[in-house]
Amino acid sequence: MTAAIEACKNLIDKTLPAEFPTNSTNFEVNANPQRIVQNFYVALYGQSTAGTKIVNMRSPTLQRELKNLATRGPGETIVVGGVKYKLYMRMIFRSLVRRLFLIFRVREGDWVA
């Protein structure tokens, strides 16, 4: 399992419930893409396909679909209830992954200048 997929799962399983506790579960999504929740590695964005939508972020259907999205990793998109959801890898994490990849390749003697 890649680090990016693990980070996506962590966002959905741990960060999302912390951001939306049971007494505050609604989020307003409009036609402009907007960040719903983020952690150090990835961010979940939402965009309404038609008008403004009020989304229950703790809905079992949405939770199931977001968990499925997380297993596919960043960059994938799903539509649930007229809202498009997408996970983006944050730039700082992308940079870290790239550096670690380059370090690994140099140590293995596979570096191409």
- DSSP codes joined into one string, 52-77: -EEEETT-HHHHHHHHHHHHH-TT-E
Question: Does the residue 76 lie in any domain?
Answer: yes
- For residues 43 and 1, give the distance between their C-alpha atoms in angstroms, rounded to a whole number: 19
Question: Does the residue 90 lie in any domain?
Answer: yes
Does the pTM exceed 0.85?
no
Question: Does the residue 112 lie in any domain?
Answer: no
Domain range holding 103?
Answer: 3-107
| Residue 109: pLDDT over 80 | no
Q: What is the mean pLDDT of the chain?
A: 84
- For residues 73 and 77, give the distance between their C-alpha atoms in angstroms, rounded to a whole number: 10
Question: Does the residue 53 lie in any domain?
Answer: yes
Which range (1-5, 24-28, 79-83) has the least confidence?
A: 1-5
- DSSP letter, residue 49: S
- For residues 91 and 96, give the distance between their C-alpha atoms in angstroms, rounded to a whole number: 9
